[in-house]
Amino acid sequence: MDVSGKKALVFGGTSGIGLATTVRLADLGARVVAVSRNPDRTEVPAGVTLKACDVRDGDGVAALCADNAPYDVLISAATGGDRALGPFLDMDINGFKGSFDKLWGYANVVRFGTEFLTDTGAIVLVSGSPARRTKPGQISLASVGGAVEAFARSLAPEIAPRRINVVSPGIIDTPMFGPDSPERTAAADQRCAAHMIPRAGTPDEVAQGIIFLVQNDFVTGTTVDIDGGWLHS
C-alpha cells in the first residue's frame, strides 16, 4: 500500500507509539485522523485532524468511524485504561479485569471500524512482549497481549482480503513511564539492561513496524516483535 493520499484513523494517536505513528503516516502523505480521549493535550503535524473518543465507548467509536468513512488504514495503540501489575494471587481481581479494557477497546475499534475500511485496507493493533515471555508481576500484561494476538490471528481469515496484524513492543520509552526526562529514559533503559539490545526502544521504532504492516500487502494474521531481543534474552 502506498499510503500517500490514503486516509488513516489512529486511535491513541496523540501520545507515545500512536503519536509516532501519526507523524510517520502524515510524513508519508496520508490524511490522518488522530483519536484520543484528550486530543487537545498534544501537538500533531499540520493537517492532522484531531477527534475525541474513548475506545471503551462502543457507540462513540461506531459514530466516529461512520463520520470519517471511508478509510484505508485503521490503527489502535490506545491502552484503554490502567493496567494492573504484580503477582496474580495478591492482585485486586477488579484491577485484573480492568486491564482487559485494552482488549475491549480494540474489539470496539475493529468491530465498528472494519465496516468502513476499504477492500484493500489494513488494520494494526499493539500487544506487548509479555504475551509470549512473561516476567514476574506481568500476568495481566501477558494475558491481555496474548488475547490481542489470538484475536488478530483468528479474525484475519474472516475479513480477508482486508488485513489485520499486530506489533509487539518490548519496553518503550513513552509517557507510560512518566513525563519526558533523562531520568525517565534512564529508568526505562535500566529495565532492559539484560536484553540483547540493552536500552529501551523509542516510539518511532515501533511506529516503523506499524508502517511496515500497513504498507506490505502480503502480511496478515501475524505479529511483528519490536522488543530489543526481549524474547531471546
Q: Where exactly are the structural domains of the chain?
A: 7-227
pLDDT digits (tens, 9 = 90+) for 199-233: 999 999 999 999 999 999 999 999 999 999 999 87
Tell me what the mean pLDDT of segment 183-193 comes to.
Answer: 84
Cell of 208: 516503523
Looking at residue 146, its pLDDT comes to: 97
Question: How sure is the predictor about 106, in pLDDT bands with cuts at 50, 70 and 90?
Answer: very high
Residue 51 scores a pLDDT above 90: yes
- The pLDDT value recorded for residue 191 is 85
The three-point CA angle 127-84-185 to 5° equals 65
Percent of the chain with pLDDT over 70: 98
Residue 41 scores a pLDDT above 70: no
Flag whether pLDDT at 154 surpasses 70.
yes
What band does 133 get if pLDDT is binned at 50, 70 and 90?
very high
Superfamily of 7-227 according to CATH: NAD(P)-binding Rossmann-like Domain (3.40.50.720)
pLDDT of residue 212: 98
Q: What is the pTM of this model?
A: 0.94
Given pLDDT bands bounded at 50, 70 and 90, which one contains residue 183? Answer: confident
